[in-house]
Amino acid sequence: MATPLHRLVTLTTPTPTALRSALALAAALAAIGPAGCTDGGGSPGSTTAGPDTFGTTEGPASGASTDVGATTEESTSSTGVDTTAGETTLALTGTTTTGDAVTTGAATTGEPCEDGEIICEGGEAITCEGGEPGEPEPCAEVCVDGLGCVPCEPGVVSCDGDVVFECDEDGEPVELGECDPVQGLSCEQGQCVGACAPGALARDHRGCEFYPTVTATIVDELFSFAVTVVNTSELALAHVQIERGGQVVAMGSVPASAVKRFTLPWVPELKSELGVDASTVVEDGAYRLRTDVPVLVYQHNPYEYVQGEDLAMTGDGALLQPRHTWGSEYIVAARNSWWHEISLTELPGFYTVTASEDLTLIMLSPSATGQTVLAGDGVMPGGNGVVTLDRGDVLQVYSAGTQSNPSPSDVTGTGIMASAPVQVIGGHMCTYVPYYVGACDHLEEAVPPKAALDTTYVVAAPAGADRNAKQRPRVVRIIATAPETTLLYTPAIDGAPAKIDEAGDYIEIAPTQADFVVEASAPVVVAQYMVGKNYDQGGGDPAMLIATGLQQYRDSYHFAIPDDYPLNFVTIIAPSSADVQLDDVVVTTFNLITGTGYRVARVPVIPQANGRHEIISTMPVGVNVHGYGPETSYWYPAGANLKDIAGP
């Protein structure tokens, strides 16, 4: 069997004579046409060649010898070429070498190939056996040098229907995942394509896969857990499918530029009840919401503030982060356990972790205040633990009771690390804010991944529970991600601490109406908590917002508000030179924050016919939304970028 042309020429310490001989031989072979014919002729024949031409002869190693500028000794060739190759090894078609001799043609001697080596020629695999090429093996699929006949070529990514495969180093296909048809994806040339393809989605609040998750609350089940889906497309209809544990529970469509609410069953194991006594893992506890065009999703716990003559009395909402923006590291924002002295009931703070991949490992690192929790399902009493979650599973961890206020038990600052991206929501079953002022209300908000946290925040107060949009007091909590974090406030805030000593520690600013900018020496989480109605007789009750960092502002937003709350407001934080419109109306009610280049407007919002509202600005701005009903309130960001901006 002839050695294929693509085999390499190997030179081992060649002599000048051998090098010249090798170059001459290579040049001569390049001039030879098919079946050993010269380029100029069509059939073999005898030719006398000088230094620049080779002759060919028929038959085994015989024929004319030609001087090619090298000393020849006892060398013969079927090409009529005699060379001395020194220690040269040449692996070329019809060519073998022995010591200083190069031999071509049917008669071969020596070891032209390494035993066990596999080479490919014309879709056939040839294995070197005993130093000689073996019989060719036709390949049904592909032939790869060194591997032989294999299903695929290493490194190549391909499609099999809607499934993406990558060929590994052994030539075996490895499934990378399915191009989800529910998200309108198809596989083309080894990648998923469509409006919801990973490369088509921005790192912001809009996406095509979300995981709504019920959190601990004492609200009556007469009221509904629900999600609001906002179609941000101006043209495309959004098809929505919601499932739990692989079972579809809701389907529908949202017209372009419109909003639709989907009511979902409560998950009792997560909703919990008074007297909860253990942290828990709930298998398939979360809902999985998918669409075929990018949307944004809010969850409401509950949606309504009133049903007939019944008031919800407690509730909040959260802006959910789409699956493609999740992170694997978080710092929790929640609130202390709260001891209700009248009913002698302990109500806990909590955090929930939701997975989207099977066998996701969750490692918990409690903060100084998070070392007293309700143990259970892998969570230790000291707040640490390692828990495994599959897709859709939810871990809900509760702070332990201490029968005291303010309680030292608070999961705020707890660190979460996961082996795959997860969603984290922090909050409270029902608490006073401050702890000594009624009435209690549910808190919840999705926590940004640690990598998306900023060092600079404009911290704006909400509007009060009347129509004049005057700011209302709230409590501000700043949580450190690094030790020795320094804080600078503009304008200065009386009594506000200037330093946080350890990662996971936090400082808290007493109720204040002030708008201010805080600059930290390392990324921080900034959480705000509305005060209870009895603090200022302002109506509503506590709600929770996690502020958006300056670098995550956007120049446009689409957002929605619940359609039955009597009072709703949008808070806009803008550079002083920005021009901002809300629903095509120029916003003119800004107030400058002293000593900064930022200003804040708190604007009442009237529900739109299609449910969707829009903010457009000439510069990036921050936007959040809140509303009041009798005995309850909600507060969440209208949207945000979720780019990775924080350092390691």
Q: Which residues, including other chains, have CB under 8 Å from residue 310's CB and lie 6 or more apart?
A: 220, 222
Whole-number percent of the chain with pLDDT over 70: 82
Chain segment 342-357, per-residue pLDDT in tens? 888 999 999 999 999 9
Q: Is the full-model pTM beyond 0.95? A: no
pLDDT for 395: 98
Say if residue 16's pLDDT is above 50: no
Residues 324 and 318 sit within 8 Å (Cβ to Cβ)? no
Distance CA 462, CA 469 (A): 8
Query: Which of 511, 514, 537 shows the shortest CA–CA distance to 628?
Result: 537
Residues 615 and 422 sit within 8 Å (Cβ to Cβ)? no
Residue 388: CA atoms inside 13 Å, Cβ hemisphere, count? 2
Distance CA 118, CA 123 (A): 12
Residues 123 and 139 sit within 8 Å (Cβ to Cβ)? yes
Beta bridge partners of 423: 354
Lowest mean per-residue pLDDT among 59-68, 115-124, 275-284, 387-396: 59-68
Residue 403: CA atoms inside 13 Å, Cβ hemisphere, count? 3
Say if residue 8's pLDDT is above 80: no
Segment holding 25, helix H or strand E = helix 16-30
pLDDT for 644: 95
The three-class DSSP label of residue 567 is strand
Say if residue 283's pLDDT is above 80: yes
Lowest mean per-residue pLDDT among 68-72, 243-247, 487-491: 68-72
Chain segment 90-101, per-residue pLDDT in tens? 333 333 333 333
Chain segment 598-630, per-residue pLDDT in tens? 999 999 998 888 889 999 999 999 999 999 998
Long-range contacts, stretch 116-120, CB < 8 angstroms, 24+ apart: 117/146, 118/145, 118/146, 118/147, 118/148, 119/4, 119/6, 119/7, 119/145, 120/4, 120/144, 120/145, 120/148
Chain segment 387-439, per-residue pLDDT in tens? 999 999 999 999 999 999 999 999 999 999 999 999 999 999 999 999 999 89
Say if residue 102's pLDDT is above 50: no
Query: Which of 407, 406, 411, 408 shows the shortest CA–CA distance to 395?
Result: 411
Which has more pLDDT, 216 or 83?
216
593: its two tokens: 């924050």
pLDDT for 610: 82
pLDDT for 489: 98
Say if residue 71's pLDDT is above 60: no
